[in-house]
Structure 1
């Protein structure tokens, strides 16, 4: 029989962390080899017991790498033992690489300290509960993360685009993500989207009270649909507070790469990035996410909300033209870049912006004007049932700051003529998403305010406005960006740059070193709002990688408007 000890042996104490639980168990694979297992507030330590003290091997698992722990009774009715299994995803050295990435490992132990199987199961549940609770408390201390718990289980609606990237999103989900969600005890409903804007329509009409979080597995395009579907609701202020999760299943996966970067992890790609984001999803910390309202000068959809980027010129052309290479995955952008470099274009237009040091951080429904954009960390604990205590906390019960503006207030000036006439009562205000007012913008038919900077150049190779660090998995366009810095990171490249120099800039962008090249053709500014007026008759403008109507456009960042599951 395995021996259970409530009081640990003094040799398993240390001066930093006191041992909370100690036991000696066998494993499911072998009942002949015994292990000493001890649990502290931070670690689970496993030592193989041998006859020689010097032969005791020791492995320490940090609870911050644990997504959950489950206890079950033995499958064999003749086995009186019970089992608890802890699931860890620690960083390990990648095979044939100097980098590290998260890799799965599980630790399963057999509890048989009694002839009564019910007592053994209770003991296994006690261990599972303690490990899960310890894991839930191991959270990174980072400003802007909201710490709290919700009732268990946390219900997740997971939207998956089967055609994103190489068309392998569904197989990647079943092969990697589904098991981890089960290990973390996160129930979910999977919806496979059937057409463009399916997700947008679904979240616009759905009863969001059924779900504690919305998770997207796709490229960045599906999240663009979800964000704008939420902002098109009459109850947008409440709807946009729903925590959003992202699992990379597309080609670019820029937001997923940004989240991974914000967590302080080494760069990874493909399935390793998916595993990293799934792990962060299971840990369930919720941060605020800036959204940028983008106002278009024409077309039926006058106002959009963007979480990633606004692009014109070279970058936008590559994004759209590389669609034909989607079958090669993330490499489509490399191919598209080389093709576009071969016939480099110059784009004419007028660019103006509000410098960050001039503009104020306008309050949104996600931020209080008295906090200057900072977010107080909140720690909330609640009693859990025995059924839920074997899995860590996931979603946050969010502390929301109400907007200082009525949701019916509509001051976005997306269409200059209609907005101006609406103020005189000539026509109804522009239709489209509601959202907070764009207090920094004026109608497009009026000059920009005097405290804006008007760029003297009119010939550009590209204009790129970023609100996250990454433009793609391997392109760190704004390395100093954070999810809620209240900034638009504006980069533009002036005409006259050679193909070789432009290529070197994009190669440097892989490590976020392009600004440090001090190229006279590259300009980088931190801004709060911007306006772009293309003069060229033909061109491409993208928002979050999605093609929008070509013409005048202006944008303003709204601090902490949305919520994102990240750490």
Structure 2
């Protein structure tokens, strides 16, 4: 028999149904169940009461709630092992006279659980059946689909059929029909989606309207680690449900006959080789990068080049100050409205401020010695893969990328130490690491053959120029301000 207090204010944080009180806290839903405390007759004719039970559910984990014909039903993501969540529900009987009160409380629960996040997101899900270890489809069905269903997301699933297929899909997509494109893959599919949106005549509008997210089904999964801080498909699915629209800097990469967009990183030298020259051992997963790095490190190879950088901040302490100031700046309202208004004025991709790689290098760019280049790495995200927080000072939308150079003449021991310091966060302060905040750069290889990696994808081994476009793209993140990486200390 229900004991709900019908005089209770509909705006109160607590509702009671069937001897169960449910209270909205700052960050959790507290459920106190007194039903087990009702006396029950035992064999000796005595009455015995069991203690009440208490259950706390993080509001972040609440997926949905509704009042059905006879029950209050709450769906949530329950921890399932060390690195997963699974959908669970609790339900309690509600009598007719209580429904209005309970429905009002459910509205407050959903408001608290979702905050600024879009509810019931409309998701275009792209599954790459060939990426990583070829398990993306099964990972999606097992770990992500139940979370999206419980959150009442509208889902349209499509498998990509060949390399570049996601470019075609994004280029022709009705961007008004979806809130986000979710890639079940490694970082290759988001790279294709950004470039597909970038090929449209309304590229800037499409890139603002359509958020991109990644379910980690590949080798590196850098986007997921940065946006959500996890390599778990189920936890990433929950993060997408609760994800906040976040402006993202994109980088134009111009070569002799092309212009592409980069969202993650560009590399030349040992990191590019460790990534692209290990395609034959993809079965090793993320460990192939470490293996490739160590093999090349022992050879102490150098990759000579010409490098010129449009440096905006060149001092490590100043970079730390910039990170602290930007990451704690006051929240700006109507960001998306302003971005869409700007896109409406100029719908195509932004013009290249510094021209292309075939133009003269601007006179105010800094020339960086590159005859003994061991590694060149530029990033607009912090984490490249699990435990590789290589760019802790990067921010999603400050209009700058981090350009890292390391001389190839450092000793093998120092190079190994640098690699080991990446997970600890001390990599940033090592004197062998040169880091600059930049808005553009140009790199010209001296060799005729080698590897250049853009977001993990191989591009022609020739001169290229990079230029940042502030807040051109959109992703989903947990914070909507910073990446899920420890900043520089």
Report the TM-score range of the alignment, normalised by the length of the smaller protein: 0.7 to 0.9
Using a 3 Å threshold, how does the CA distance of structure 1 residues 397 and 244 change in structure 2: closer, same or farther? farther
Deviation at 1:446, TM superposition (A): 4.6
Q: Deviations over 1:75-112 (max 9, x none)?
A: xxxxxx4241231457x9x75xxxxx664463412214
> How far off its partner does 1:20 sit?
2.7
Among residues 3, 13, 16, which one is paired with 1:20 in the alignment? Answer: 13
Q: Distance in 1 between matches of 2:226 and 2:238?
A: 15
In terms of fraction of residues, the more strand-rich structure is 2
Pick the aligned partner of 2:136 from 165, 169, 172: 169
How far apart are residue 176 of structure 1 and its match? 0.9
Does the alignment pair 1:545 with 2:431?
no
Partner of 1:320: 276
Q: Is the 8 A contact 1:165 1:330 kept in 2?
A: no
Aligned residue pairs, count: 451
- Unmatched runs of 5 consecutive residues or more in structure 1: 10-17, 26-33, 74-80, 96-100, 138-146, 262-267, 359-372, 380-395, 408-433
1:173-252 aligned at under 5 Å gives the runs: 173-241=140-208, 242-252=210-220
CA distance in 1 between counterparts of 2:110 and 2:286 reads 36
What's the CA shift for 1:153?
5.2
- Which residue is equivalent to 1:484? 397
Structure 2 vs 1, CA of residues 48 and 207 (structure 1 numbering), >3 Å: closer, same or farther?
A: closer
Q: Is the helix fraction higher in 1 or 2?
A: 2
Question: What's the CA shift for 1:53?
Answer: 11
1:252-271 aligned within 5 A: 252-261=220-229, 268-269=230-231, 271=232
- DSSP 3-state at the match of 2:340: coil
For 1:134, which of 89, 97, 112 is the aligned residue?
112
Is the counterpart of residue 494 in structure 1 residue 483 in structure 2?
Answer: no
Equivalent of residue 368 in structure 2, options 448, 455, 461: 455
Q: Cα distance 1:452–1:221, how it changes in 2: closer, same or farther (>3 A)?
A: same
* Separation of aligned partners in 2, 1:378 and 1:518: 42
In the alignment, does 2:276 pair up with 1:276? no
Question: Cα distance 1:122–1:173, how it changes in 2: closer, same or farther (>3 A)?
Answer: farther
Q: Which residue is 1:111 aligned to?
A: 93
* TM-score of the aligned structures, taking structure 1 as reference length: 0.73
> Which of 333, 336, 357 matches 1:377?
333
Q: 1:405 to 1:327 in 2, by over 3 A?
A: same
Q: 1:233 is paired with a residue of what secondary structure?
A: coil
TM-score by length of 2: 0.84
Which residue pairs with 2:296 in the alignment? 340
Q: Secondary structure at the match of 1:293?
A: strand
Q: Flag the 1:540–1:42 CA change in 2: closer, same or farther, 3 A.
A: closer
Aligned position for 1:506: 419
| Shift in CA distance, 374/465, structure 1 to aligned 2, threshold 3 Å | farther
Q: Is the 8 A contact 2:86 2:147 kept in 1?
A: no
Tell me if 1:48 matches 2:33.
yes
What's the RMSD between the two structures over aligned residues? 3.0
Give yes or no for contact 2:72–2:91 (8 Å, CA) kept in 1.
yes
Point out where structure 2 has 5 or more consecutive residues left out of the alignment.
39-47, 315-328, 479-489
Cα shift at 1:487: 1.2
Residue of 65, 68, 71 corresponding to 1:69: 65
